[in-house]
Amino acid sequence: MISKKLAYMFSFILLVTLILTFTISSVSAKPQFSVKPTIAKNPNLSLTADFKAVDLGKNLATVYVTSLASAKLQCVNPGGNNPPAQEVDFERVVNQTVNIKPDDGDIKRSLTLGPPTFPSASEICSNPNWTVDILSLIYENVVLHIERDNSNILTFNFGNVTQT
């Protein structure tokens, strides 16, 4: 009789353990990056973020990259007597927002950010016939966002990235 009770008790404990194991493993699958996302500087002064996110589920995700930006611009006159360079701040820079349906819960993608629209010589130089040289461009606080229902489910901050 005791062995029969032990067998039932063991079966019950095994069943509860299996149920808890499956429940915990399905709950603990949080969205994450399978490898650290990378950022590349492009010749046209834009940036490209490459990433692979996993455990995103099956629902549509919205993906985009944001940043603030500032640039050091030089007005150039034909005589070579250039005024001091100017710092220019840009509004928030955002790439085009992309809606992606995860493939088996995963998204692998490249997104390009920028460059911002630079002011013309007529906007920042004392003579509109001068040209503008870009001495440097700093993307500040570059962040990759993966959202669902207008809430971030996964982000990655690349920090500041300087283009020269």
d(CA 96, CA 46): 13
pLDDT confidence of residue 130 = 94
pTM of the model: 0.78
- DSSP-assigned letters across all residues of 38-70: EEEE-TTS-EEEEEEEE---SS-EEEEEEEEEE
Fold of 31-163: Immunoglobulin-like (2.60.40)
Segments in the chain below pLDDT 70: 1-28
pLDDT confidence of residue 12 = 58
pLDDT confidence of residue 19 = 57
The token duo for 119 is 């002011």
pLDDT confidence of residue 24 = 46
For the chain, which residues make up each domain, given as ranges?
1-30, 31-163
pLDDT confidence of residue 78 = 86
pLDDT confidence of residue 25 = 43
pLDDT confidence of residue 144 = 96
pLDDT confidence of residue 3 = 64
pLDDT confidence of residue 158 = 97
Residue 35, C-beta contacts closer than 8 angstroms, at least 6 positions apart: 52
Q: What phi and psi, each to the nearest 5 degrees, are found at residue 8? A: -65, -45
